[in-house]
Chains A and B, each alone.
Chain A
Amino acid sequence: MNLNNQIPVILTSCLIGAYVNSQQLDSLEQESMALKQLNEVVVTGESKVMSLSKKLFAVGVVDQKDIAKVAGNNLADILNYNLNITITPDASTGRSTVNMFGLDGQYVKILIDGIPVASDNGVGNNIDITQINLEDVDRIEIVEGSMGVLYGDNAVAGVINIVTKRGLEGDYAWQVQVSVQEETVGDEYALFDEGRHIQNFKVSNQVNNKLGYSIGASRNDYAGFYNNFRGKDYVNIQDNTLINDGLRGTEWNPKEQLTAFGNLNATLGKHSIFFKLQYFDEEVTVYDRNVTGRLDPGTGLVNPTALDEIFETDSWVNNLTVSGPLKGQTNYNLFFSYQDQKRHYQQYVYNILQQGIESFIADDLSQSSKIYYSKGFVSNIVPKSEFFNAQLGYEFTRQTGFDAIATGEYSNDVVENTLENYDFFGVLDFNLTDKLSFYPGARFTNNSQFGNQLIWSLSSTYDFTDTFKLKAVFGSAFRAPNFEELFFYFVDANHNVQGNPNLQPEDGISVFLNLENKYKIGESGLLKSAIKSYYFDIQDKIASVVTADDNDRSLFTFANVDYSKILGFSWENSIKLDRWQAGLGATYMGESTAIDGSANSNSDYLWSFNLQTTLGYTIPSWKTTLSTQLKYTGRTQVLVPGDSGPVVGQTDNFTWMDASVRTSLTKDLDITLGARNILDIVTVNASNVPSGAHASNSTSSRLFGNGRSYFLKLSYKLNLN
């Protein structure tokens, strides 16, 4: 551990050493670059289409440069460095979900160009963020707090919007981008069977100033993290007896993803049209760690076999956005989307000695979801009034589908379910003075399962000066019960676990205060500092409970009985000065979870401390950027299954650190070399976590990472006229 702690120090001093050497290289070019950066900081996103409303909320932006620094291929690679976001990876399913303010992925809504992403059995929330490819992405916007009025259900902890690149910069007609990226997974790497291998390809064409399009594809081949496991062809046979040492397979399951996309950007008069088509395919292979060693009755020799599984996800996204002026300065925005997601499940008998498949046991469509979505709003309805303005809109979602896994292996009730949402919302602007504005808003939701819901919000901004601003957001949102909570069914002689179709949504209220100021330092330097305070109150939280059924048997089901309260403070700073860019943020968050459904209850606040720093240095003459990021995540409350319902446990603190060097070899060729997870995190200890009823050898740690990994990315961009 001592050694691990020293590594960041050594690394940072190496980086600083490099900076000092190049410090003398002053040039005009550098100054102009810094100026450009300053402008960017001030105006980022403000005027761009499809942005989340910066007027109402504090919006955090992760741009292409941030993505390039860590050679991010999917959303999970980059979101870790947001102060209030923790990525929760699951080694067994390969899924990674977002945890924001201690609330899991079900409370965070993820959008692509303002349209919710289809997830396994929901719309927008509980998204596996490793499935969101960044090849075609311009920037990522993060809004914290309950955004129910503008974004509907499940936008409780916040909203993450992924904005697609549009058009070509400069006057080129054609652009071809190719990149390859090779990564180790921990210290594992081989050309095919170990490590991570990424290839990207994209062609864009700007036909004229009214029409542009691009197509591309990205492939991410993650061979899994073996750790102490020995792969799919491992078997231990001694004296013709199978030794079941449980070492077959991998610690993290291998995963192969392919994303293909195309988009079209057109202008018709004053109206702009954007169409995005995306196909995604993912295959996760799960190797059985237990080997069956039946004897071949003919030869008497062990014939080792294992039951391996493949989860394949296919999804299609068709998103259409139209916007333009309605009348005068009043604008309209229309969104239409059809998304289709299917998951196939295969299970087969793998013959280890013959290294091939003996037979298929299951080859089913286990989940299917079709989503029709539309949203529209009209903004700037009263353009002539300085005092009053309004925005009005609707949102419609229709989801049909089934999920055989979420409803349980034993359920006969995997029939298709349809959920419909009809929403209307409006936000009013009251600009009382030049400095003080109020934005009350409300949304009326009619859901086919839960009936009518009302969501409201009140934002207010007070501008002390042009740069010194206070924003306060008081809003509500709800999380709808998920498929499993509603429809799960597992009943036999010893089990009685059933979903509760009468569940109501969880109500969430949040208060956000954001005080921020910007200071100029010298000619080109800029310091931005923000203090935030937030409070979440989630009522009627759904928890697993034990009750009695009609026959007085114990029934494990779900009910709206718990609550969660989260209170936190954070302080975020960023500074840009000459060639330096630095960021320092800290958050102190308390979480109190009450479990009324079980005997164990803990209503005390558990406080945790998170710290995040970034440091970057640019050497213009070498066209080189050095960067390092470090994030300290304090101990966190987690709900873990106990003997009688879930109990509150904790995971220990851990520190995550990445560093990279990015340089341009030629005008068109970039190379990025870096290291992820420099502190070599594989597991994080969990305490107060009792072992489960059936888990004979329960571990008291959670898998979090793949160990220290290195990556090399070559990217080539060719511009043609």
Chain B
Amino acid sequence: MKKLTFLSVSLFLAMLSACSSDDSDDLIDFSVTFSTATISTSETDTTKEITLNFSRAATEAGTITVSFTGENAVYGTDFSTVPAATSGSISLPVAVGDLSTTITFTKILDPIEGTTKSVTFSLDEFDNTDWMNGSVNSATVSFSPIAALNGIIDLENGGSNMPNQVYFDFSSGVQTAVKRDTWELGLFNGSENRVYLNASLLVSAAELEGITDLLSVTEATALTSPLELNTLDAMTFQPTTVTVNTVEELLQGLPVGYFQYGDIDEGVVFTDTWQGDLEGTAFAEISTTADENNVYIVGLGNEIPTEAAEPGSINTTGDHRGFMKVRILSDGSNYTIQYAALDETANFSEVTVPKNSSYLVSGFSLTEGQSVSVEPAADAWDINFSGVFSYYGYQGPLVAGLTYSDFAVHNTLGDVGLYQITTYERDSEGVVTEFDVPSYADFARGDVDESALVYDDRTAIGSGWRDAFGGVLKDDRYYVLKDAAGNYYKMMFTAYISNEGVRGNAQFTYERL
């Protein structure tokens, strides 16, 4: 009997400790929330997506019912929606696996001057009793623009290939995504005649000193005088030199990469400087005297890969896109771009692009042979979250062609100033030094240090705001920005990966001071 008692006690104990409290397998509650509480339309931008986010992927199908009420706005007359509404509410089907659903709102009639129009959408009910309301239960769509005082921006760089560069304007809160491979050259629209390279595509350019006949140049062309250039040894990664006699030899070291050729001391650099100043372009200033403009070999950069990288990694630089020979002329108010494939000796293409003072730099595609719309108007962007960024420069003791990801440059040409505030520093021993600066939350207009604003280096943000190898966003810094109109903002990155770990999904928050 005693034995039996003990046996049952120990069996009970065994069962007790076997039923672990580990419940990490349980999914979180399924809740539905509007992605934002206010949405504004403008005269030109009449269609808006209203997004409802789920707390997790749906494990059961169902329907969400959203009701709406209009202020001076009537369904069918002033606005319409997809899915269409029936008797004042919209039914949104949810399939298994969905993470969000959207209502497409289309404005039909603008408000009459002096009146306001808006529609408020609210969560009404779910056919699934386990589903619940999330944090934002309604979203109001305004029929006219609302000035942005703050915002949380999910940048549209497009994931681990970072296919897009994103221009952001703080005062309007508008981000403009442009595919990185739509342009190679950027034509400056100011008084100087300057040509930038697309650093987000790893475009590079080398001048053929003393050669002005475009069609005479092929791979076999000898340089007028041999160049002795620096590079890195492919095996040891140590600095070495190479003598370049022909175009063919030059091509070996023209693409941006660790083994790119160059000589910073002698001013032989095949990329624009990282600072972005007009004097630092790889192309020399375009002369209005045609004979003074030499032929350049342009490395067209690297393709945007299409295969996504594993979470935490990037895959931004694909195969090299090849080379073209280019000669650019200017009369002061137009640029004339002459270009051809490197082995072409019969005909070249020529495109003339007039300067457009609304824009700082106009994009030009050598592969398409035409101007492309890249930057928003000069005063309509403050930061270019270029994703990828490349230049020939210093990395520790080495000089090489460097490629960065998660990069951001600010609009120094457009009079935007920016500086970083560092809240603490951790040295190699792990000792933390706190600096006497306000936290991001506490930073106010009076804390702005006007003299710290950087106007001569567009890479003040760069990519130092995250530690991609350590896999962390740095929490030691935020930025202060002054736009060309004199508005002050503070901005801080809040993520560089998605919750799923996918790179190229940066998020930042900003607030007008």
Q: Which residue of A lies closest to B150 (CB)?
A: A300
Q: Is the CB of B317 within 8 A of A178?
A: no
In whole Å, how far is A182's beta carbon from the nearest beta carbon of chain B?
Answer: 8
Bitwise, B450-468 to A at CB < 8 A (1) or not (0) is 0000000000000000010
Q: Is the CB of B315 within 8 A of A492?
A: yes
Of the candidate stretches A345-353, A416-424, A425-433, the one touching chain B is: A345-353
Q: Is the CB of B21 within 8 A of A354?
A: no
A residues 691-721 touching B (CB-CB < 8 Å): 694-697, 714, 716, 718
B55 located at the interface, meaning its Cβ lies under 8 Å from any Cβ of chain A in the complex: yes
The contact of A410 among B25, B53, B310, by CB within 8 Å, is B310
Q: Is the CB of A178 within 8 A of B17?
A: no
Alpha-carbon gap, A493 to B319, bound state (A): 9
On chain A, the residues within 8 Å of B53 by CB distance are 298
On chain B, the residues within 8 Å of A355 by CB distance are 28
In whole Å, how far is A290's beta carbon from the nearest beta carbon of chain B?
Answer: 5
A357 located at the interface, meaning its Cβ lies under 8 Å from any Cβ of chain B in the complex: yes
Q: Which residue of A lies closest to B31 (CB)?
A: A354
Of the candidate stretches B205-213, B373-381, B481-489, B495-503, the one touching chain A is: B495-503
On chain A, the residues within 8 Å of B55 by CB distance are 351, 354, 358
Alpha-carbon gap, A351 to B57, bound state (A): 13
Interface hub of A302, A307, A695, A714 (most chain B Cβ within 10 A): A307
Q: Is the CB of A298 within 8 A of B317?
A: no
Interface hub of B17, B29, B37, B311 (most chain A Cβ within 10 A): B17
Q: Which residue of B lies closest to A199 (CB)?
A: B14
On chain A, the residues within 8 Å of B99 by CB distance are 359
Q: Which residue of B lies closest to A299 (CB)?
A: B135
Count residues on chain A whose CB falls below 8 Å from chain B CBs.
69
On chain A, the residues within 8 Å of B265 by CB distance are none
On chain A, the residues within 8 Å of B48 by CB distance are none
On chain A, the residues within 8 Å of B473 by CB distance are 242, 244, 292-293
A191 located at the interface, meaning its Cβ lies under 8 Å from any Cβ of chain B in the complex: yes
In whole Å, how far is A569's beta carbon from the nearest beta carbon of chain B?
Answer: 42
Alpha-carbon gap, A361 to B497, bound state (A): 14
| A349-B499, A357-B26 known; A294 vs B235 contact (CB < 8 Å) | no
Q: Which residue of B lies closest to A351 (CB)?
A: B28
On chain A, the residues within 8 Å of B499 by CB distance are 292, 294, 305, 307, 349, 358-359
A343 located at the interface, meaning its Cβ lies under 8 Å from any Cβ of chain B in the complex: no
Bitwise, A668-681 to B at CB < 8 A (1) or not (0) is 11000000000000
On chain A, the residues within 8 Å of B500 by CB distance are 307, 349, 359, 361
| A246-B472, A351-B28, A359-B56 known; A193 vs B21 contact (CB < 8 Å) | yes
The contact of A299 among B14, B25, B27, B136, by CB within 8 Å, is B136
Q: Which residue of B lies closest to A669 (CB)?
A: B6
A201 located at the interface, meaning its Cβ lies under 8 Å from any Cβ of chain B in the complex: yes
On chain B, the residues within 8 Å of A622 by CB distance are none
Q: Is the CB of B472 within 8 A of A359?
A: no
How many pairs of A and B residues are in contact by the CB < 8 Å rule? 172
| A357-B24, A357-B56 known; A298 vs B136 contact (CB < 8 Å) | yes
| A241-B492, A696-B467 known; A298 vs B33 contact (CB < 8 Å) | yes
Alpha-carbon gap, A242 to B466, bound state (A): 13
Q: Is the CB of A716 within 8 A of B6?
A: yes
A415 located at the interface, meaning its Cβ lies under 8 Å from any Cβ of chain B in the complex: no
B10 located at the interface, meaning its Cβ lies under 8 Å from any Cβ of chain A in the complex: yes
B91 located at the interface, meaning its Cβ lies under 8 Å from any Cβ of chain A in the complex: no
Q: Is the CB of B492 within 8 A of A197?
A: no
Q: Which residue of B lies closest to A233 (CB)?
A: B24
Q: Is the CB of A354 within 8 A of B509?
A: no
The contact of B28 among A199, A241, A298, A357, by CB within 8 Å, is A357
Q: Which residue of A lies closest to B19 (CB)?
A: A192
On chain A, the residues within 8 Å of B21 by CB distance are 192-193
Bitwise, A238-280 to B at CB < 8 A (1) or not (0) is 1111111010000000001000000000000000000000000
Which residues of B are in contact with A by a Cβ distance under 8 Å? 3, 6-7, 10-11, 13-14, 17-18, 20-22, 24-29, 33-37, 53, 55-57, 99, 134-136, 152, 154, 234-235, 257, 310-311, 313, 315, 317, 403, 428, 430, 439-442, 467, 469-475, 492, 494-495, 497-501, 507, 509
With A201-B11, A358-B55 already in contact, 7 other A-B pairs whose C-beta atoms are closer than 8 Å: A192-B21, A296-B33, A298-B34, A299-B136, A301-B135, A351-B28, A554-B234
